Structure 1
């Protein structure tokens, strides 16, 4: 795939509450700030042919075709083709992959892609979709909130509570340490006076071990879909905080001044009941398409959808933990759903640059069996 990432930037992640660092802004203002940031770094994001924006909660502040709204506020050209995308928590990475495919197919010369999610304005499940409570599907096809899906996966895979506590502590410790390394956040664009990921909360194994499971009561509401009594193991510390955030990647067919080359991209569907496993499938496909192995990856950004996913990855795959989520992950920094994959892409380029590595991998996974992954090659 001869598609290049000219640059990739992200906002800090602000707490999704009224006094959060980004809550006073609108989603299109986050996107505009990033477009301005790309321009300040020497790119021409307003001259792109195509703009694809992921957003999960496409209602209220994020309704009305959010990519079109952001296009107008950010001053992209009238001829720029826009797409708003909802692929749940893989949306931001799916947007980048679809834009890359358009360039590879000759449909665009340059494209802007990424995601935005302001959970302070559009909370989780705010669209109140009929599907969330639909009873006309077979029980094993019904919607299961992702926290319950994480509990089911931990039970089915035998992922111990101790492994999840360890994953949460490591994420928090790494995220806090990353603030002392400017190179890890070289592509993070301060907005509204916020210049850090404000949900980070360092903790200890002892404190984590004392927390109770978080999703037991929710399980009763979805008993028919669960078809069994799940062993509830995830605590609030094993779930990524709800935050506001956005990220954009500028893609081009021209390798000049590019930071990286996309060498493999894949999406995957999966069993909606084992809903956090499709990212693993997408990862394996992306590596196969790139003709590379996990051992070739100098840095990996693996989405910490819940603690079970990162614990399973580190346990079941031949990977060096010191190359994974080196600046912390979602358990510490938070999960702005539609923006997540794009945020991880920007983070990956930063940590690859810091390590002067060659190959990097980003993996995102989401509810009901969605996943996406991408392999990039850093260009010195």
Structure 2
């Protein structure tokens, strides 16, 4: 072990709120503040020691300037500390950790809070050009803010790029539906057996009148009664004769993740035992039209940087944007299905884009702990073709 190692000393997430569900009225930065505060409290870290906060958030409309800064201050960190909000599409949360690792290795920081937050339920509708064109007469089109998910490089939504993977890999609709079913079943098992409990920070939900409150601490996105026949009945979402459906794609959800990165030297000084260490990161980019292929390049690169092979990995986490995307990478890399997303993934938990890169690392760590294993590689592709991967080693 090297004193310059980057270690993670605390990692937690909120439970995932379904689209329009329990978390819909909580501003995304306040979800971030809740996760940050819990990650700090878990290790009793004096907040004055934190050097910087770096958080991912992709859907920032209506959240003010630099919402990571708002999350940081609302979490109780000194207003004199800097914060930055990162948008690298879906890998944003993972990118925050890589940036923290770079700062720590350069000696620019010793303690950095990373992760992300997203309230997809609060994405607004837009009246584009209303400021200049006005409303003298006639109708105006109210545009869904979700139009931002269409990649201007290819004028294509992410679901359409998933259908491009079907054209290339011919992974059947039934295979995709079965994968989606298993994601829900694995996530429900993990939830039922308490395997998610340690990674989740409870969120207090106040009633409309504010006189009562409930505690939200269970992912509400998991469909425990799902069956293959129900999935088979869902119509294709992106092509009339397509294979990608709402059932075998990730759901929309709300949530936040906080991960505290630290130099091993500083952790030793503070007497804090690391949860896990970062072995390597990789980031690559592929054609936007087949963005889901990214893990097939990012994973081998992260392994090469670490001097390791896929066989050395005890667990593999690939973000489940679409079942076909995970299955195509599994096929290309020959990933053992027994190691892949063992507690389910974004098809069951949802994919709040700004946090998922950090969420799969968090879930991967706690899965390693639950299984008493050592190494996990996590990878996530993103709109525009950007992709990242990370290898972690469990220490605690």
Rg larger in 1 or in 2? Answer: 2
CA contact (8 A) 1:90 1:370 kept: yes
Q: Structure 1 residues 11 and 45, CA, compared in 2 at 3 Å: closer, same or farther? A: farther
| Residue of structure 1 equivalent to 2:183 | 171
1:366 pairs with 2:382: yes
1:70-81 equivalences under 5 Å are: 70-81=71-82
| Residue of structure 2 equivalent to 1:224 | none
1:251 pairs with 2:261: yes
CA distance in 1, matches of 2:124, 2:298: 27
What SS does structure 1 have at the residue aligned with 2:9?
strand
CA contact (8 A) 1:49 1:111 kept: yes
Q: Between Structure 1 and Structure 2, how many residues are aligned?
A: 357
Q: CA deviation at 1:6?
A: 0.7
CA distance in 1, matches of 2:277, 2:124: 35
CA distance in 1, matches of 2:180, 2:68: 34
Q: CA deviation at 1:342?
A: 1.1
CA distance in 1, matches of 2:391, 2:31: 26
1:315 pairs with 2:317: no
Q: CA deviation at 1:318?
A: 2.9
Query: Of the candidates 56, 59, 62, which is equivalent to residue 57 of structure 1?
Result: 59
CA distance in 2, matches of 1:37, 1:370: 30
What SS does structure 1 have at the residue aligned with 2:34?
helix
| Residue of structure 2 equivalent to 1:14 | 17
CA distance in 2, matches of 1:82, 1:28: 12
What SS does structure 1 have at the residue aligned with 2:188?
helix
Flag structure 1 segments of 5+ consecutive residues without an equivalent: 135-140, 218-230
1:241 pairs with 2:251: yes
Q: CA deviation at 1:123?
A: 6.0
Q: CA deviation at 1:184?
A: 3.7
1:115 pairs with 2:116: yes
What SS does structure 2 have at the residue aligned with 1:216?
coil
CA contact (8 A) 2:9 2:43 kept: no
Q: CA deviation at 1:269?
A: 1.2
CA distance in 2, matches of 1:160, 1:133: 26
Flag structure 2 segments of 5+ consecutive residues without an equivalent: 126-143, 205-214
My pick for the range that moved more, 249-258 or 368-377, is 249-258
CA deviation map 1:82-101 (0-9, x unaligned): 11110111111111111111
What is the TM-score normalised by the length of structure 2? 0.85
CA contact (8 A) 2:62 2:124 kept: no
CA contact (8 A) 1:89 1:338 kept: yes
| Residue of structure 2 equivalent to 1:207 | 230
| Dislocated runs of 4+, deviation >6 Å | none
What SS does structure 1 have at the residue aligned with 2:195?
helix
CA distance in 2, matches of 1:173, 1:309: 19
What SS does structure 1 have at the residue aligned with 2:361?
helix
My pick for the range that moved more, 260-269 or 32-41, is 32-41
Query: Of the candidates 297, 304, 312, which is equivalent to residue 296 of structure 1?
Result: 312
Q: CA deviation at 1:128?
A: 5.4
| Residue of structure 1 equivalent to 2:395 | 379
CA distance in 2, matches of 1:100, 1:358: 20
Q: CA deviation at 1:58?
A: 1.7
| Residue of structure 1 equivalent to 2:350 | 334
CA deviation map 1:216-253 (0-9, x unaligned): 37xxxxxxxxxxxxx52101111111100110110000
CA contact (8 A) 2:117 2:354 kept: yes
Q: CA deviation at 1:38?
A: 1.6
1:32-111 equivalences under 5 Å are: 32-44=33-45, 46=47, 47-61=49-63, 63-111=64-112
| Residue of structure 2 equivalent to 1:197 | 219
Q: CA deviation at 1:361?
A: 1.1
CA distance in 1, matches of 2:305, 2:11: 23
**Structure 1 vs Structure 2 CA RMSD:** 2.0
Q: CA deviation at 1:132?
A: 4.6
CA contact (8 A) 1:279 1:366 kept: no
What SS does structure 1 have at the residue aligned with 2:199?
coil
What is the TM-score normalised by the length of structure 1? 0.89
Query: Of the candidates 126, 145, 148, which is equivalent to residue 145 of structure 2?
Result: 126
CA contact (8 A) 2:104 2:263 kept: yes
